[in-house]
Amino acid sequence: MDRLIDRYLEHLELERSLSPHTLRAYRGDLDDFAGFLASETGPGTRVEPQSVDTTAVRAFLASLARRGLSRKSQGRALSAVRGLLRYAAREGIVDSNVAAGIPTPKAPKTLPRHLRPHEIEALLAAPRTRTGPLARRDAALLELLYATGLRVSELVSLDWRDLDLDGRVLRVLGKGGKERMVPFGRPAAATLSDWLQDWDGVRAEATRPVAGDPVWLNHRGGRLSVRSVRRIVDRAVADAALAAGVHPHTLRHTFATHLLEVGADLRSIQELLGHASLSTTQRYTHLDVDRLLTVYRQSHPRARSKGRSSASAPTADGE
């Protein structure tokens, strides 16, 4: 089983270009699965892929539930196992994917957190209360996150050659190695220009060689990490006195929601976010009830009609 997992993850990395973060998540879930199978068959017993059946997969899911894992985590683990066995079937290692018919545990649907206009303005202004090169870096970083809706992994991978400050557009490689062009506004371009003036001085502090010309540098002159971006957002949230629960991904949700609220169509937002599926974009965007009612009342023919009483409405017999 361990050899099959290694082959499958190599396939995902080389042929499907999945990110290191995704590969680590798959590795953890599949190692859990292999460990569960080994515990069920007894010490010293080698688990072969051909011995895995539907009952074993269902028992693995039940063990995750007993451990207190959320339904979302259970669903992710099932997806990893399903993908592994699908790969094994395609390679002729097993006869069929025994996990194909097992339903994914339904996770409760929750709306993603997004910031209201006054909240995002406070967040973007927070680094300007400080001085120095890293304060200007933080201001530019937050502006670009909100202006483009980039994933944090995409943000930290940017080099200066990927940005056209005059044209206010950037090139980014998203999930699966798919390239897309994303525009940004004048405020982001201005803060990026300010940070660029300090960039050489910060880069000179590098204690080891850094590949490329990364846009975002840490205080030692190296490329900024995803974890560091989280710390920058946390500090801005604290300085702006915003409620807890704001993360770097919150700015991506906010970007999409604010575009939708001013009339952008979902297909355009899908392209900007780099989503393969429109259904994914729909989960990243939401409107409050007041706006939904306003759109309905302005758009639906029956909502716009006046002077119609309930007595004048057609009855079932008159239809």
Q: Which of 90, 125, 159 is the last residue of a domain?
A: 90
Q: Is 128 found in the same domain as 73?
A: no
106 is catalytic: no
User: Which CATH number belongs to the domain containing residue 49 in this structure?
Assistant: 1.10.150.130
> Where does the pLDDT of residue 315 fall: very low under 50, low under 70, confident under 90, or very high at 90 and above?
very low
- Do 160 and 73 fall within a single domain? no
- Which of 76, 114, 252, 258 is an active site residue? 252
Number of H helices, E strands in the chain: 14, 3
Model confidence at 44, pLDDT cuts 50, 70, 90, reads low
pTM for the complete prediction?
0.63
State how far the Cα of 195 lies from the Cα of 140, in Å rounded to an integer: 7
Mean pLDDT of 95-121: 84
**Mean pLDDT taken over the chain:** 85
- Tell me whether residue 313 is in a domain: no
Tell me, yes or no, whether 277 lies in a domain.
yes
How much is the pLDDT for 159?
95
| Average pLDDT of the residues in 276-281 | 72
Alpha carbon 301 to chain centroid, angstroms:
37
Question: Three-state SS across 37-73?
Answer: HHHHHCCCCCCCHHHCCHHHHHHHHHHHHHCCCCHHH
Q: Which of 7-16, 132-141, 260-269 has the lowest mean pLDDT?
A: 260-269
30 and 132 both lie in a single domain: no
Residues 161 and 26 in one domain: no
Work out the pLDDT band at 267, boundaries 50, 70, 90. confident
Residues spanned by the domain of 81: 2-90
User: Is 128 found in the same domain as 271?
Assistant: yes
| Catalytic pick among 72, 168, 230, 249 | 249
DSSP state of 172: E
Query: Tell me, what CATH number does 232's domain have?
Result: 1.10.443.10
Is 283 an active-site residue? no
Q: 109 catalytic, yes or no?
A: no
Residue 247 domain-assigned (yes or no): yes
> Are 69 and 190 contained in the same domain?
no
Same domain? For 45 and 142 the reply is: no
Is position 304 within any domain?
Answer: no
Percent of the chain's residues with pLDDT above 90: 52
What's the DSSP call for residue 223? B
Do 74 and 8 lie in one domain? The reply is yes
| Options 82, 137, 151, 258, the catalytic residue | 151
Same domain, 123 and 86: no
Alpha-carbon distance of 291 to 287, in angstroms, equals: 6
Based on the structure, what is the number of domains in the chain?
Answer: 2
Same domain, 271 and 213: yes
Q: Is residue 235 part of a domain?
A: yes
The pLDDT value recorded for residue 258 is 87
Token pair for 28: 């953890």
Q: Tell me, what's the pLDDT at 314?
A: 38
Judgement on whether residues 223 and 176 belong to the same structural domain of the protein: yes
pLDDT in tens, 285-295: 655 555 556 66
Q: Does residue 269 carry a pLDDT above 80?
A: yes
* Residues 58-82, mean pLDDT to the nearest whole number: 92
Q: In what order do the strands lie in the sheet with 169-173?
A: 163-164, 169-173, 179-183
For residue 269, the tally of other CB atoms under 10 A from its CB is 21
CB 264 within 8 A of CB 183: no
Could you tell me if 235 and 122 lie in one domain? Answer: yes
Active site residue 130: no
- Predicted local confidence at residue 110, as pLDDT: 65
Instruction: Say whether pLDDT at 309 is over 60.
Output: no
